Chains A and B, each alone.
Chain A
């Protein structure tokens, strides 16, 4: 069965630190990958998505992610975090032609001012 693993459950960083959140999936076919963010008390919003082409994807608010097919990974990065990045981050995968999304369990990021 397809699955998505986010190994970091809680991350605490100081402002201006660099961020990398891990995401690994298990599926051998063509995948489409997403990162969503959930700010406190709000609904999920799309940060970025990968469908095909350039494996380095840039999203909103300075976030980027790199798809490494050989490692089944889609890690999220940001060079310098801000206090306002405090949120929960979810990785999700779907395969072409399917309707179901598989979400990871999420990573709670706390950025200290």
Chain B
């Protein structure tokens, strides 16, 4: 199993350009997440998808859109990149661990995005 994979690993964009970050998991997990990681701020949730066909906003959704293409894939789109979106982006997935509904997350390797 590859776990959670992300592409690309690195990307440089100019302000105003658009791009899509891809994420896929092969663990048959129901839930998928997009986070951004910035120094001193930990991980902040951008969007999540509790199950195939649903998506919800997280803590910092502005400037982003997502698509849950199928159970395996969850993409993050920047329509018009801004320097404030320079960050490291992590995708994660999780599934139910027990009846109480606790969820352990598995993370991808990250995408380092720079917007100039």
Interface residues of A, Cβ cutoff 8 Å to B:
9, 30, 32, 34, 36, 42-46, 49, 51-52, 90, 92, 94, 96-101, 103-106
- B68–chain A nearest beta-carbon distance, Å: 13
Is B101 on the interface with A (CB-CB < 8 A)?
yes
B interface residue count range (under 10 / 10 to 19 / 20 to 34 / 35 or more): 20 to 34
Which residue on chain B has the smallest CB distance to residue A91?
Answer: B42
Nearest chain-B residue to A44 (Cβ)? B107
Q: Is the CB of B97 within 8 A of A99?
A: no
Which of these, A32, A90, A103, contacts B102 with CB under 8 Å?
A32
CA distance A85 to B9 in the complex (A): 25
16 contacts between A and B (CB under 8 A): A30-B100, A43-B108, A44-B90, A44-B92, A44-B107, A46-B104, A51-B98, A90-B43, A97-B100, A99-B31, A99-B94, A100-B48, A103-B43, A103-B44, A105-B40, A105-B41
Q: A52-B100, A106-B42 are in contact. Are A45 and B107 (CB under 8 A)?
A: yes
Task: Please report the C-alpha to C-alpha distance between residue A100 and residue B44 in the assembled complex, in whole angstroms.
Answer: 11
Interface SS of B by simple majority: strand
CB pair A34 B48 closer than 8 Å: no
Alpha-carbon distance between A36 and B35 when the two chains are bound, in angstroms: 14
CB pair B31–A103 under 8 Å, yes or no, is: no
Contact B100 A42 (CB under 8 A): no
Q: How far is the CA of A34 from the CA of B94 in the complex (A)?
A: 13
- Min CB gap B107→A, angstroms: 4
